[in-house]
Structure 1
Amino acid sequence: MEWFIAAIAVVALGVAAVVASGRGGSMSSEPVRDTYAAPLPEGRFDGPAVRGLRFGVALRGYAMDQVDTVLDRLASDLEARDSRIAELEAQLASGRSAATPSGAPGREQAR
């Protein structure tokens, strides 16, 4: 009986060595996603959309790839809004300077 258990142990170690060396097949190149991933809202984020976000909980907290995806989208949305605000402020400033006669004080100067 002892020889039988020893033979099974040797076979199990041999199989483990073959699998560890990569000869038992290859692993998937894509990571396994075993956490819940809620769909992100379409379009730009607004306050209610951000407040409604829920992330899947992983072994040690939130799933980092989900949080990184949301942060990347938030950053790009904020950059787009900032550039739009700068564009509109530039248009407003150019409109004010065109409407103000050259000798008359402008609204900013009167304050």
Structure 2
Amino acid sequence: MATEDIVITGAAETADAESLAAATIRTYPLAPGHNVNVRSGPGTHYPIVRTLSAGSSVPIRCQCQGESVTGPYGTSTIWDNIANAQFVSDAYVHTGSDGYVAAKCS
């Protein structure tokens, strides 16, 4: 993925800052061979809003603590926010870390 510098100047500062924030969101692959449920909150008791196909990648906007889940990448209480009110367990996302790789959700 190419990296490009973004310079923030003048009246467009707010729009450019939002573009910069969106540009810094990384995507991560889901565990191979697993369809992953996307939930409306950080736990399996939240409703499923959609299911991602095996081989998909997800953007991680922020991360938060939630229900403990065991998956292909171990047991984790970290949940990844991939869109507005859409969360997946970090135990199914290959981030290369057992800890946070994005800002904590506020």
Whether TM exceeds 0.5 here: the answer is no
Compare relative contact order (CA 8 Å, sep 6+) and give the higher one, 1 or 2: 2
Greater fraction of residues in helix: 1
TM-score of the two chains, using structure 1 as the length reference: 0.21
TM-score of the two chains, using structure 2 as the length reference: 0.22
